[in-house]
Amino acid sequence: MARPAVAETSLPELPVRRGKVRDIYDLGDTLLMIATDRISAFDWVLPTPIPDKGRVLTGLSVFWFHYLGEPHHLITDDVDQMPIPAAAPIDQLRGRTMLVRKAQPVPIECVVRGYLAGSAWKEYQKTGSVCGIKLPPGLVESAELEQPLFTPATKAASGHDENISFEEMARRVGNDVAEELRARSVALYNKARAYARERGILLADTKLEWGWCDGRLILIDEVFTPDSSRFWPADAYQPGRSQPSFDKQFVRDWLDATDWDKNSPPPPLPDDIVEQTRQRYIEAYERLTGRAFPWK
């Protein structure tokens, strides 16, 4: 049975910064990154959380940090080892919290794409290029690319990411750092993509973040989760159209079938959509980690 969903956390006397999905508490040299059960679709955070979604996201990030063998920011995901105030609702935090080393983030979203989707597909249709990289003509939506593309982005003030060229990234962070992050990001994407493919999931694209810690660049934020990446079910893949999303398709289809205009606050989700979506997240966790989801 699912525990009640956690839409928002509040830890006594700690300042919090809330993203769309995560609540982040600053402990000085470390951060507590808590994935809530909030879900976003069509750029809106929905009013109905998905129970245990945050545990799936955290569990997947933790799995990948270990699997990838790349220097990363995770210290522990065991809440009993974390400096959490005694009055905090510890059971609520279990499984969804990472204690991480605070790094100095490189202000670039390192996006790697193996397939032509989202903003890259839009840009290609207009210009035949993606982030200044010329692609062959005649590619269809969701086409698999011959080589994964590194398409950096910056966080624009509007909150929407803005694609930039590799040269622009190099101007901002220096050529050596840009080259290093491109190589490391593409290598991690390739490794994760091959692994996911064997488990029936196409990792269409992803966003990685890096930060400086003790003079070197380490992997920060979340990695290869359905919130930072496009997961497609491999058995439904069909180029020439948009692909169903592994995790959010029930939610998107249901919202599309309502009369919601996508410009005003979205409606609450019915229970069966919540439950089917929850099962999809759990399925992604189990397929990728090869382990039973501990919170079923």
- Where along the sequence are the contacts to ligand ATP (CB under 6 A)? 19-22, 24, 31, 73, 100-103, 105, 209, 211, 220-221
DSSP 8-class letter at 109: B
Taking the complex as a whole, the smallest distance from the CB of residue 12 to ligand ATP amounts, in Å, to: 21
Taking the complex as a whole, the smallest distance from the CB of residue 292 to ligand ATP amounts, in Å, to: 28
- Output the CA–CA distances (angstroms, integers) from residue 112 to 131, 192, 194, 264, in the order listed: 11, 12, 14, 32
- Output the CA–CA distances (angstroms, integers) from residue 141 to 200, 236, 256, in the order listed: 20, 15, 20
Taking the complex as a whole, the smallest distance from the CB of residue 96 to ligand ATP amounts, in Å, to: 13
The answer to whether the beta carbons of residues 154 and 161 sit under 8 Å apart is yes
DSSP 8-class letter at 269: P
CB atoms within 10 A of CB 66: 11
Taking the complex as a whole, the smallest distance from the CB of residue 21 to ligand ATP amounts, in Å, to: 5
- Residue 9 or 142: the one with the smaller Cβ distance to ligand ATP is 9
* Residue 142 burial by Cβ neighbours in a 10 Å radius (0-12, 13-18, 19+): buried
DSSP letters, 16-79, are EEE-SSEEEEE-SSEEEEEE-S--EETTEE-SS--TTHHHHHHHHHHHHHHHH---BSEEE--G
Taking the complex as a whole, the smallest distance from the CB of residue 71 to ligand ATP amounts, in Å, to: 12
Taking the complex as a whole, the smallest distance from the CB of residue 26 to ligand ATP amounts, in Å, to: 9
- Residue 40 or 276: the one with the smaller Cβ distance to ligand ATP is 40
- Residue 19 or 267: the one with the smaller Cβ distance to ligand ATP is 19
Tokens standing for residue 238: 């069909």
What residue number has its CB nearest to ligand ATP? 19
- Residue 47 or 128: the one with the smaller Cβ distance to ligand ATP is 47
- Residue 21 or 41: the one with the smaller Cβ distance to ligand ATP is 21
- Residue 142 or 151: the one with the smaller Cβ distance to ligand ATP is 151
